[in-house]
C-alpha cells in the first residue's frame, strides 16, 4: 500500500489579518488627519527657514530688510492660517485668506480705479509711507510636498495599515 502525510494549513489568522487590513483601509481618516498635521508642521518649519518646498530661499521682503525681521512673518496671520481638512480617504492642505495666492505664486497688485496703493514701511525715525500705482510681489512658495515629505507619508501609510496586523 504506501504511506502519506496530510498537512492542514490553518489560514484563520491570515484571513483575520486580511479582514482587519481591509476594514482599516475603508476609513483612512485617522491617517489623513496625521498626514495633514505633518504637512502643516513641515510648512510651519519653512517659515522659520524662509524657504520654499524645493529648498530655495525666499526673496527677502523690503520690510524684513529694513526692520531686520523675517519675510512673511510680521503678523503671523498667514502662518497661522495654514490648516488641513481630512476625510476618510483624502486630506486637503492649504492656507486661508485673500492674500495667500499672491504670496505663494507672486504677482502684481494694481490700485483700483487708477488710484494709488498706500502703505507704510520702516519704523521709528525711518518710518515712511509710499504711494504707488502697483506693486509686484515675488513668489514665495510655502505650500508644497517635498520628496522627503512623500517618503514620510508613505511610511505613515505603511505604519497605519500594518498596525492592524499586529
Contact between 89 and 96 under an 8 Å Cβ cutoff? The reply is no
Write out the three cell numbers for 13: 489568522
The answer to whether 122 and 67 have CB atoms below 8 angstroms apart is: yes
Q: So where are the chain's domains?
A: 12-106+143-161
pLDDT tens for the 166 residues of the chain, in order: 788 888 887 788 778 877 877 777 788 999 999 999 999 999 999 999 999 999 999 999 988 888 888 999 888 999 999 999 999 989 999 999 999 999 999 999 888 887 888 877 666 666 777 788 888 999 999 999 999 999 999 999 999 988 867 6
Amino acid at each position: 500500500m504506501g504511506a502519506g502525510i496530510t498537512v492542514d494549513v490553518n489560514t484563520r489568522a491570515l484571513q483575520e489579518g486580511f479582514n482587519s487590513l481591509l476594514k482599516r483601509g475603508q476609513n483612512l481618516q485617522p491617517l489623513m488627519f496625521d498626514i495633514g498635521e505633518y504637512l502643516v508642521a513641515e510648512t510651519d518649519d519653512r517659515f522659520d527657514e524662509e524657504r520654499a518646498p524645493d529648498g530655495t530661499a525666499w526673496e527677502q521682503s523690503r520690510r524684513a530688510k529694513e526692520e531686520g525681521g523675517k519675510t512673511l512673518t510680521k503678523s503671523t496671520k498667514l502662518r497661522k492660517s495654514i490648516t488641513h481638512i481630512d476625510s476618510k480617504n483624502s486630506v486637503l492642505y492649504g492656507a486661508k485668506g485673500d492674500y495667500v495666492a499672491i504670496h505663494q505664486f507672486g504677482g502684481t497688485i494694481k490700485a483700483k480705479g487708477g488710484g494709488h496703493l498706500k502703505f507704510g514701511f520702516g519704523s521709528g525715525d525711518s518710518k515712511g509711507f509710499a504711494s504707488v500705482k502697483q506693486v509686484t510681489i515675488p513668489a514665495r512658495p510655502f505650500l508644497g510636498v517635498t520628496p522627503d515629505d512623500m517618503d514620510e507619508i508613505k511610511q505613515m501609510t505603511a505604519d497605519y495599515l500594518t498596525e492592524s496586523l499586529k
